[in-house]
Structure formats: structure tokens, C-alpha cells
Copies of this chain bind each other. A is one copy, B any other.
Amino acid sequence: MALSEFGLIARYFAACGAGRPDVRLGVGDDAALLVCPPGQELAAAIDTLVEGVHFPPGCSAASTGHRALAVNLSDLAAMGAQPAWALLALTLPSADEAWLSAFSQGLDRLARAHEVALVGGDTTHGPLCISVQILGHVPAGTALRRSGGSPGDILFVSGTPGDAAAGLMLEQGRLAAAPEAAAALRERFLFPTPRLALGARLRGHASACIDVSDGLLGDAGKLAAASGCGAELLLEELPLSAALVAAAGETRARELALTGGDDYELCFSVPAERVAALQQELPPGEWGYRAIGRLRAAADVYVSSAGRRLALAAAGYDHFS
């Protein structure tokens, strides 16, 4: 059944996400009107998912709705910011109501979990492509940046990177695993968890932070470069999930942890003298993060094992390379 563009928007997106008192005018006019709290900076990011590039053709619509918002929430997590409002630019080949219903539910569930209001958008006809714009706040002057690290700072990562890449390979039939491990890894690709609570708590502890979307090694390298540093990552310290090791074996698991994409974990640096305070306030076992290396003065970024440098081919996912 064909729905008009305006019918579509009204039906699936007008009530999507949380209600917020700081939304003066939401979906349905030429622009949304929003109230910024005093003393805060506005944090703004935009990220796009393209079918066949960021998710396989025919991927679950609920997952696509979740991921379209999650990848943006992850950007705010990396700044230590609190999300507030989102806008959705949705380009669709056809007005498939079953797809739209599942997509909007996936988006809605995650938006409500983080009290994000959907305040505007644009629905257009074309190859499936989803851009979400996220807006949030962070107390002025306190945001985490990529550029604040110094040589000697300890590098940490949250979660167990590599899981999402294995989950995508399972979705695509390029990897096989026992049902329990397969389900856990698929879940990490289809429904990643933006680390908003951790990011907010890292303000005042971390010297620099980035979200891991294109592979840990590449993204740690970006943090290091923005900080004018190099980095050493310790192969044996990479946090690997039992599911990943079971599905891929330990060697391949470490490769995926270093170069797989789509994890949406946080990689952050902490001055060595502040690590004890960090670990006291945010116990690593409870908050799920682990030291994996350190920033160095020399500009190169490498992985070492038992004190020896390793040669690695892929340095994270890069469009157009």
C-alpha cells in the first residue's frame, strides 16, 4: 500500500522517541525549536548508514533503526556529552510499511532508553540511506576530545572489540559458530550499546577519547595523531570475549579486535598518575574497560607482543581507500 510522504512521517515518526520539556516545537514544521540549557555547550554529530556498505542488504529493520541512532549516540559518548534531540533523514526505495514499523520501533526503543526526542526529519525516495543528526549537551569546557592525550598516558578500551565484526561475518555467512556464541556476536553487530554512561563519567579522568567505529587500531591511531603522539597496543592485553575466541580462534579473534569495525566502544587515554583514581571511581570490572597500551612521543602506532613489534596489514576500515 502506498502512503504519502506526509502520511508516512506522521504515522511512524511523529511520536518516536522520548518526550522532553525542552522541545518547544517538534516534528511537523519547517524546523524544530529547542531550548539549550545555560552553561552547557551544544554537541552535534551526523552519521550515515548505507545499505550494502554499513549493513547487509535485507538486514533486520529493527537493527537498522537501532544502529542509525546508536552510531550517533556513540559519537556523543566519546565527547562525554548527554544526548537530547535527534533528526532523521530517511531515503527509502519504497514505502514498505512492515520495514518502517520495525525500523521506527528499533529507533524508538533506543531513543527512549536515553531520553532522546526525535524532533525532525526528511523522508525522500531513493536507494536506502539513513542519516541521523544527534544533538546533546556537555558542561562548557569539559568535553572529551581526541586531541588531549600526552606521551605516557595509558590507553584503555571498553567492552570486547571484534565481536561486532564477527557478528557481521556470521550475518553474511562468512563465519560459522555454535548457536550461543553466534547469537551473542550477532547481537553485538545488530544492537550495539553506545557507552554514554561511561563517556559522561570519563570527564575529568580521560585526557582524550574516541569511539571505536572503524577498528580499534585505526581509531586509537586517530586519537594518538590528534594528540600529536604515537601509540603502542599490547596484543596480549586486548579484551576478547569468550564467544569471539570460540567462533574465530584466538589469533583471528585478536586480528578482529584490532581491525574489525562497528564496535561502538570507547577508546580513551588517561594520564598514568590518574589511573588509580579512575579505577577507584569506576571499577574496571563493573564498568567494563581495560588498559591495552599507551601513548608514546614517537609518531608511529604499532602492536607489540611479548616486547616485540608486530607487522599488521589492515589499519581499520576506511571508505574510498
Contact = CB atoms under 8 A, between A and B. Distances in A.
A9 B123 CA distance: 26
A286 interface: no
Interface in A75-102: 75-76, 78-79, 81, 85, 87-89, 91, 94-95
Interface string A142-153: 010111000000
Interface stretch (A48-56, A106-114, A305-313): A48-56
Contacts of A174: none
Interface in A55-86: 74-76, 78-79, 81, 85
Interface of A: 2-6, 8, 24-25, 28-36, 38, 41-48, 50-54, 74-76, 78-79, 81, 85, 87-89, 91, 94-95, 119-127, 129, 131, 133-136, 138, 140, 143, 145-147, 209-211, 226, 318-321
Q: Count the copies.
A: 2
B2 A320 contact: yes
6 contacts: A4-B318, A25-B143, A29-B146, A31-B79, A47-B122, A53-B126
Given A33-B138, A320-B95, A46 B5 contact: no
